[in-house]
């Protein structure tokens, strides 16, 4: 089994729970010693600005 994971976030603005779950799962995998890459694609690219905004932390 590989120790690398790619998580694709394609959820749109009305699917915040899905986008957040992807980040949390990525964090769990990383803490478990796995190499993780999270990619925002399609509608999911709108989350990059939201997650970078300090007001949303």
Segments making up each domain of the chain, as ranges:
13-56
Say if residue 2's pLDDT is above 90: no
Burial of 10 from C-beta contacts in 10 A (0-12 / 13-18 / 19+): middle
Say if residue 57's pLDDT is above 80: no
Say if residue 4's pLDDT is above 80: yes
3-state secondary structure of 29: helix
The partner residues of 37 in beta bridges, in order of sequence, read 6
The partner residues of 36 in beta bridges, in order of sequence, read 5
Task: Please name which of 38, 45, 52, 36 lies closest in space to residue 11, comparing C-alpha atoms.
Answer: 45
- pLDDT, mean of residues 13-18: 92
State the pLDDT at residue 1: 67
């Amino acid at each position: 089994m590989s120790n690398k994971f790619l998580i694709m976030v394609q959820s749109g603005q009305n699917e915040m729970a899905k986008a957040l779950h992807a980040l949390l799962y990525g964090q769990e995998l990383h803490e478990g010693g796995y190499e993780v890459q999270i990619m925002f694609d399609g509608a999911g690219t709108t989350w990059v600005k939201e997650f970078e905004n300090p007001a949303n932390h």
